Amino acid sequence: MDQSRAPIMEALENFKDMRIVPFDVPGHKRGRGSPELTKFLGQQCMTVDVNSMKPLDNLCHPTSVIREAEELAADAFGAAHAFLMVGGTTSSVQAMILSVVKRGDEIILPRNVHRSVINALVLTGAIPVYVNPQMNDRLGISLGMSVADVKAAIEKHPSAKAVLVNNPTYYGICSNIREIVRLAHAAGMKVLADEAHGTHFYFGENMPVSAMAAGADLASVSMHKSGGSLTQSSFLLCGPSMNAEHVRQIINLTQTTSGSYLLMVSLDISRKNLALHGKEIFRKVVDLTTYAREEINALGDYYAYGSELINGDTVYDFDTTKLAVNTLDVGLAGIEVYDILRDFYDIQTEFGDLGNLLAYVSVGDRERDLERLVAALADIRRRYKRDKATLMRQEYISPQVVAGPQEAFYADKKAMPLEESVGRICAEFVMCYPPGIPILAPGERITRDILDYIRYAKEKNCMLLGTEDPEVNNLQVIRGVVSPE
């Protein structure tokens, strides 16, 4: 296919020339009704913030330009079909899961998944079979799924409908997705991949294998992360085993009927850019992260880790575009370095957890930006270094699952102070965001270790989300249920 085309952009360009008088939504009428917003975003943006109409197709049932954009995306990603998603990768992940499981079905997955995965289990009533990831104790991060652990889960739960894989994790860790696909398919199970952080796997050179190339059935790809499209725009990719029109029906259960053409055209243009120039773009990204990793490691105390972590199993491969830095030997939690960089150096990184910092390097970064980050980290080490003895390491605590997420979320529940909740069954989420991996999810036992983690995260000023109580002083628990440790 002609990857130099961008059908949605072309349709919008033609639409601007038509001089249509708008008696439809949106009500700002090409910006005239909201001059302050138009001044802030620009006339060009407001002119193409339009609604579905015949010349522009309809996201819910595309037959022309959006359908062409989907076909080009599928071709570029090596998929049988691709869907433009305007609800972020959260909606893509949820549609992916809703397409293969229903109430009571089992799905095998790592516990260090994004909240959107467990949200989908709340919606469907499916039952998670968790494969607890192993840990790298030095870094305090969870790794990929061991093939042996996945094999054991498949053998123990032969009626499970699917296996979900992170490809990669937020930290760049990749499981052996090819072998997991082989095992799952041999057992009659689908394979779903959360590739929120793996867009570049499809376009770069010498990258870890992409989900579609590995034979996965569905993959959710955050084009807005490493692909350059607008925030909240993503793709849902289908392999040849999936009924694409059934998947579209599932998407239409939850995705808006008023798809943003700003988001859709950004997907169209970004796909074109990566299809034509992806190798060159991601070669540059790898060069930048390699340079930064070497410079940061030369500073002392920081550890910017990379492909040396590969062990052939739980770290089957490593995404070298990820600039993840362990900060513990500086005596600072990752979230503390994150805050210092933003507040005193005007540098915004992707996230900091209890032991690590992630600087997201992608299509728009420059060498001088990396130099500024390295210099700031050197200055932070000089100014703020302290004893690390009191620092907590782990970003993940293995859960004790007592009830299914849907059952717990909709159970009769009550608020209970943190210090009184040990042994209770949680009925809501608790997570640090980013990355959005739950510390607690509905249906899991509240333990002292988890409460210590939550208190420590609050002390370190992590952004805790998911609870009804905005201060996270109370947790929603299932009323009347106590489960001793």
237 lies in some domain: yes
| pLDDT for position 484 | 56
The reply to whether 283 and 271 lie within a common domain is no
Question: Is pLDDT above 60 for 27?
Answer: yes
b/e burial code for range 329-345 (CB count within 10 A of at least 16 → b): bbbbbbbbbbbbbeeee
Dist. CA 427–CA 476, nearest whole Å: 5
Burial 461-480 (b: 16+ CB within 10 A, else e): ebebbbbeeeebebbbbbee
**Is the model's pLDDT at 349 over the cut of 80?**
yes
Which residues of 393-432 form beta strands (DSSP E)? 413-417, 424-426, 430-432
Q: Which of 275, 297, 315 is the last residue of a domain?
A: 275
247 and 325 together in one domain? no
- The span from the CA of 271 to the CA of 72, in Å, is 8
Tell whether 337 and 233 lie within a shared domain: no
**Cα torsion 254, 260, 262, 268: sign:** positive
* 447 domain residue, yes or no: yes
Domain count, the chain: 3
* Residue 437: per-residue pLDDT: 86
Co-location of 271 and 285 in the same domain: no
Contact between 59 and 95 (Cβ < 8 Å): no
For residue 390, being part of any structural domain is answered with no
Q: Do residue 108 and residue 80 come from a single domain? A: yes
Q: Which of the listed residues 253, 275, 297 is the one where a domain comes to its end? A: 275
The answer to whether residues 192 and 319 belong to one domain is no
Mean pLDDT of 386-412: 87
Same domain, yes or no: 221 and 362: no
Q: Count other Cβ atoms within 10 Å, centred on residue 451.
A: 18
pLDDT at 483: 60
* 428 assigned to some structural domain: yes
| Residue 96 reports pLDDT greater than 70 | yes
Q: What is the pTM for the complete model shown? A: 0.95
Whichever domain contains 350, its CATH number is 3.90.1150.10
Burial of 75 (0-12, 13-18, 19+ CB in 10 A): middle
CATH of the domain at 417: 3.90.105.10
Over the stretch 183-212, which tens digit does the pLDDT of each residue have?
999 999 999 999 999 999 999 999 999 999
- Which has more confidence, 483 or 457? 457
Q: Which domain holds residue 327?
A: 278-384
Last residue of a domain, one of 275, 309, 339: 275
The pLDDT, as a whole number, for residue 78 is: 98
Nearest CA to 336 out of 358, 323, 354 is that of 354
CA 262 to chain centre: 21
Average pLDDT over residues 428-454: 90
Q: Does residue 463 belong to any structural domain of this protein?
A: yes
| Mean pLDDT of the region 34-45 | 96
User: Quick one: 253 and 353 in the same domain?
Assistant: no
Question: What integer pLDDT is reported at residue 284 of this predicted model?
Answer: 96
138 φ, ψ to 5°?
-65, -45
Q: Is residue 319 part of a domain?
A: yes
* Same domain assignment for residues 308 and 450: no
Residues 271 and 348 in one domain: no
> Going by DSSP bridges, is the β-strand pair 162-166/190-195 parallel, antiparallel, or unpaired?
parallel
Residue of 482 and 270 predicted with greater confidence: 270
Task: Kindly state whether residues 29 and 40 are assigned to the same domain.
Answer: yes
User: Does any domain span residue 396?
Assistant: no
Q: Is residue 96 part of a domain?
A: yes
pLDDT tens digits, one per residue of 213-251: 999 999 999 999 999 999 999 999 999 999 999 999 999
Angle between helices 261-299 and 7-17 (to 10 degrees): 130
Which CATH number is 135's domain given? 3.40.640.10
Whether 255 and 295 share a structural domain: no
